[in-house]
Amino acid sequence: MRKLIDELDIIVAPGVFNPISALIAERTGFKAVYLSGAGLTGSLALPDLGIITLDEVSYFVKEISSKISIPLIVDADTGFGEALNVVRATRILEDSGAAAIQIEDQVLPKKCGHLKGKQLVSPEDMAMKIKAAIKARRNMLIIARTDARSVEGLDSAIERARQYVKAGADIIFPEALEDENEFREFAKKVDVPLLANMTEFGRTPYYTVDEFRRWGYKIVIFPVTAFRACLKTMEQVYKELMVEGTQRNILDKLMTRKEFYEMIKYREYEELDEALSAEFK
């Protein structure tokens, strides 16, 4: 992940929520992927309120990272507790294959960063969590997210970000900024790599990767874009089957058997099975 930051003008990390989505993203050409907390909990039919466990997240991190060769950025919500919990979570997630983890400054139960009703921990408590993660990590990057913009205002978000940088954060993620001027102001006053969240239906207008690059941002995530597309597509397919009783009219929307088998390296597994079986004949 550090190498990508040094080599690329900007890193585009689409959101993934399971191994196959991560594999598709890598095959499409992306250089990193982002395991979204909202996408992961949503795939389990749960709301993004910090109720998913460290064991569940680490399981998916391990499964996803074992299927791809590009860095995986992991949404670790509030760090699964206080400073000591953050130490354990950092070690477990790095051992599971995370290249970077993101910790935010909300209190539990946390909420989607673009919704109302958020509450924040003190900047001192968040700084302690960051220091705990820094102490526990080996090579993994630590991303500090601040949700202060929509709770305390832009100036407070910038001041918090500066405190998090002093605590050791490698990257700052200012959540729910509301216009170009705010993105530019943040980049002007916070001197570390910055991550921009380009989610849908939230407080942030729809900007392009090139715009974020020009404003000084190093990483852009699209956390649940593909997840939302999957949900809508599945809904449409199920309706088609319910109404028409056949999939004949939507075959052009389906991945073929050949395409899928190539993606999951079906033939390689088959050849391995044949080779192993041949040894005992």
For residue 255, is pLDDT > 60?
yes
List all residues 6 or more positions away from 35 whose beta carbon is below 8 Å from its beta carbon: 15, 16, 17, 22, 57, 60, 61, 64, 72, 73, 74, 75
> Would you state the pLDDT for residue 280?
78
In degrees, rounded to 5, the angle at the alpha carbon of residue 217 between the alpha carbons of residues 215 and 218 is: 145
| This prediction's pTM | 0.95
User: Out of 3.40.50.620, 3.40.50.880, 3.20.20.60, 2.40.30.10, which CATH number does the structure's domain 2-224 have?
Assistant: 3.20.20.60
> Would you state the pLDDT for residue 146?
97
- To the nearest whole percent, how much of the chain has pLDDT over 70? 96
Across 231-253, average pLDDT: 97
List, for residues 150-183, the tens digit of each pLDDT value.
Answer: 999 999 999 999 999 999 999 999 999 999 999 9
List, for residues 66-118, the tens digit of each pLDDT value.
Answer: 999 999 999 999 999 999 999 999 999 999 999 999 999 999 866 665 656 67
List, for residues 13-23, the tens digit of each pLDDT value.
Answer: 999 999 999 99
Give, in order, the Cα–Cα distances in Å from 101 to each of 2, 31, 33, 58, 118. Answer: 13, 16, 12, 11, 21
Residue with tokens 């995986």: 72
- List phi, psi (to 5°) of 117: 90, 10
Give me the chain's average pLDDT, please: 96
Across 276-281, average pLDDT: 82
List all residues 6 or more positions away from 213 whose beta carbon is below 8 Å from its beta carbon: 9, 10
- Which residue ranges make up each domain of the chain? 2-224, 231-278
Residue closest to 207 by CA, chosen among 238, 240, 178: 178
